[in-house]
Amino acid sequence: MSEKIKEIPPDLKERQREGFKLEWRKELRKAIPVKERMKIPLQKMPTRDAEERNKHFQEVNKGLNADQAQAEAKRCLDCANPQCVMGCPVRIDIPAFVKLIEAGKYVESARKLKETNSLPSICGRVCPQETQCEEVCNLKKATGVGVAIGNLERFASDCEREQEEVHIPKIPPSTGRKIAVLGAGPAGLTVAGELAKKGHQVTVFEALHVAGGVLVYGIPEFRLPKAILEAEVDYLRQLGVEFKMNYVVGMTASLDDLKNEGYEAFFVGTGAGLPNFMRVPGENLIGIYSANEYLTRVNLMRAYDFPRYDTPVFLGKRAAVLGGGNVAMDSVRTAKRLGAEFSAIVYRRSRVEMPARVEEVYHAEEEGIEFHFLTTPTRFIGDENNHVKAMECLRMELGEPDSSGRRRPVPIEGSEFIMEVDLVVVAIGNSPNPLIPQSIPELKVGKWGNIEVDWDTMATNMEGVYAGGDIVRGGATVILAMGDARIAAMEMHKYLSTKKK
């Protein structure tokens, strides 16, 4: 599945050029010479103390203060040829919003962000900026340390919300066209926001009882507070988006039923909701969870507050999380917060191959998480009550690169050893959820069950049906899902504009 990122649309490019030429931007550039700007040190994100925060669920990052944000914004050189925009899957006009922060116009900065990104306070927290916009920053090329764009994105959008300056843009008169969005995750929320702003009547159908998808059941409070997400969902409601919760399209109603109700265009953003397991003996012992189940119990169902909330979760003393991605980091840090004395990542490759964000790995290490690299479980061993008590592991070494370009882990013969554990979380990825493809047989899917799309338009093989995010990609990031969603929303708008009622 390609991670296709499209060229900057010509109109956006034009707007960026115009922005660069604005008088106030020129003045800012003149005010501080490039050499001076390059001397300003990177502003460190303030965090809660590791030994305090690994016992509760409050947000780890506290956000830059205004002085820090100003200093960080000044580090941006406002280049004539900014590379950062090309690194962003949704093509945020990054220099524009950063320079608005430098000018002290925080609320305007947030509004600039919202022109291209419906959910900036979320992206400012969970996007892997270090491999996207920040990776290609010209300042990084020059000095080795780029502008902390993500922290600035978070700062501006938090200011707008905290100052209660969130404003509802003027929405054109209703087009009277009904659009159904399947799934209230990052892709669905983005499509809903974009199309509502064009005056369409958007309904989001969500299977769970809370909107947000992976943002609510997966990403923990300590990385993305629920209140932030709720504010974003509220914003969409104010844009006129209707949410139908507890509604599984394909089961509660078919796509044809929705067509009969007058829905004319559809976006499928139902995510990669089918967890993969290791397929080794003993994996169904008690105390072994998929990351989805573990995180859903804790985040969505609030098992951390059991028995005040009814849903329980095992509180392991010795927790092993299998995998090396962000979901694995979220799980292992959650286990620590729920009282595990030993909470470890067990990953079959080495540190450099880990897909998790550097920041998450760093925070995890600070919090006392152990890392066991080049290790893979071969079987799980249960006690007399069939609760997992240990896993047999094998040491690995790195061989030749595989299809992902990473060096393939190869087992070292005779290296078996026993690791004592009473909680295991399997965080080795997900497959696309089968409910939608099963319920719409004419929808074309690939061999992994992912919906096939034309990457230029995100259109499926069915007229008026578009898809994006993990149901297409199989398991990617929030921002790539949102990038797909923006393309789909533009195309859906075009489709409805040319289609007769």
Partner 1 sequence: MTKILRRERLVPNIHLIEVEAPEISRKAQPGQFVMLMPDEKGERIPLTIADWDKEKGTVTSVFMVVGTSTQKLTMLEAGDDIPVYVGPLGKPAEIEKFGTVVCAAGCYGIGAIYPIARALKEAGNKVITVLDLKANYLLYWEERLQAVSDDIFVSSRDGYYDCKDYIPQVLGGVLKGNKVDRVVSIGCTYLMYTCSETTRPLGIKTIVSLNPVMVDGTGMCGACRCTVEGRNKFACVDGPDFDGHSVDWQELFFRRKSYFEDEITSLCYWEKENLLKS
Q: Which range in 39-47, 120-128, 268-276, 335-343 contacts partner 1 by CB under 8 A?
A: 268-276
Interface with partner 1, residue 242, by CB under 8 A: no
Interface with partner 1, residue 277, by CB under 8 A: yes
Q: Which range in 123-131, 203-211, 354-362, 364-372 contacts partner 1 by CB under 8 A?
A: 203-211
Selection from 226, 236, 238 nearest residue 190 by Cα: 236
Q: Looking only at residues 282 through 321 of this chain, which bind partner 1 when binding is defined by CB under 8 A?
A: 283-284, 286, 289-290, 292-293, 296-297, 301-302, 306-312
Q: Which range in 28-36, 45-53, 272-280, 471-479 contacts partner 1 by CB under 8 A?
A: 272-280
Alpha carbon separation from 218 to 53, 175, 489 (Å, rounded): 19, 35, 25
Interface with partner 1, residue 262, by CB under 8 A: no
State the Cα–Cα distance between residues 181 and 200, nearest whole angstrom. Answer: 12
Interface with partner 1, residue 473, by CB under 8 A: no
Place of tokens 């280049």: 79
Interface with partner 1, residue 174, by CB under 8 A: no
| Residue 46 in tokens | 């303030």
Would you give the DSSP letter of residue 109?
Answer: H
Q: 261 near 372, Cβ under 8 Å? A: no
Element (H, E) at 410: strand 407-411
State the Cα–Cα distance between residues 139 and 147, nearest whole angstrom. Answer: 7
Alpha carbon separation from 390 to 16, 337, 377, 381, 416 (Å, rounded): 57, 21, 10, 5, 13
Q: How far is the CB of 420 from partner 1 (least distance, A)?
A: 20
Interface with partner 1, residue 324, by CB under 8 A: no
Q: How far is the CB of 385 from partner 1 (least distance, A)?
A: 7
Shorter beta-carbon distance to partner 1: residue 227 or 251: 251
Output the DSSP codes for 288-341: EEEHHHHHIIIIIS-GGGTTTSS------SEEEEE--SHHHHHHHHHHHHTT-S
Helix (H/G/I), strand (E/B), else coil: 386 = coil
Q: How far is the CB of 220 from partner 1 (least distance, A)?
A: 16
| Residue 403 in tokens | 């299809």
User: What backbone phi and psi angles, to 5 degrees, belong to 495?
Assistant: -60, -45
Interface with partner 1, residue 274, by CB under 8 A: yes
State the Cα–Cα distance between residues 451 and 56, nearest whole angstrom. Answer: 39
Question: Given candidates 253, 280, 462, 490, which one binds partner 1 under the rule CB under 8 A?
Answer: 253
Interface with partner 1, residue 343, by CB under 8 A: no
Q: 37 near 74, Cβ under 8 Å? A: yes
Q: How far is the CB of 109 from partner 1 (least distance, A)?
A: 36
Contacts for 415 with CB less than 8 Å, ≥ 6 apart? 394, 395
Q: Which range in 41-49, 78-86, 281-289, 322-330 contacts partner 1 by CB under 8 A?
A: 281-289
Q: How far is the CB of 195 from partner 1 (least distance, A)?
A: 24
| Residue 461 in tokens | 């093989």
Q: How far is the CB of 9 from partner 1 (least distance, A)?
A: 34
Interface with partner 1, residue 280, by CB under 8 A: no
Instruction: Annotate 329-385 with three-state secondary structure.
Output: HHHHHHHHHCCCCEEEEECCCCHHHCCCCHHHHHHHHHCCCEEECCEEEEEEEECCC
Shorter beta-carbon distance to partner 1: residue 284 or 404: 284
Residue type present at position 154: R
Shorter beta-carbon distance to partner 1: residue 153 or 470: 470
| Residue span 385-404 as binding mask against partner 1, x where in contact by CB under 8 A, dash where not | xx------------------
Shorter beta-carbon distance to partner 1: residue 308 or 501: 308
For 195, what's the count of Cα atoms within 13 Å in the CB-facing half-sphere? 36
Interface with partner 1, residue 171, by CB under 8 A: no
Shorter beta-carbon distance to partner 1: residue 28 or 258: 258
Q: How far is the CB of 256 from partner 1 (least distance, A)?
A: 12
Interface with partner 1, residue 252, by CB under 8 A: yes
Shorter beta-carbon distance to partner 1: residue 272 or 394: 272
Shorter beta-carbon distance to partner 1: residue 302 or 406: 302
User: What backbone phi and psi angles, to 5 degrees, belong to 407?
Assistant: -70, 130
Shorter beta-carbon distance to partner 1: residue 159 or 303: 303
Q: Looking only at residues 428 through 467 of this chain, which bind partner 1 when binding is defined by CB under 8 A?
A: 433-435
User: What backbone phi and psi angles, to 5 degrees, belong to 430?
Assistant: -130, 160
Shorter beta-carbon distance to partner 1: residue 277 or 362: 277
Q: How many residues bind partner 1 (CB under 8 A)?
A: 38
Interface with partner 1, residue 188, by CB under 8 A: no
Shorter beta-carbon distance to partner 1: residue 121 or 433: 433
List of residues contacting partner 1 (CB under 8 A): 207-209, 217, 246-248, 251-253, 273-275, 277, 279, 283-284, 286, 289-290, 292-293, 296-297, 301-302, 306-312, 385-386, 433-435
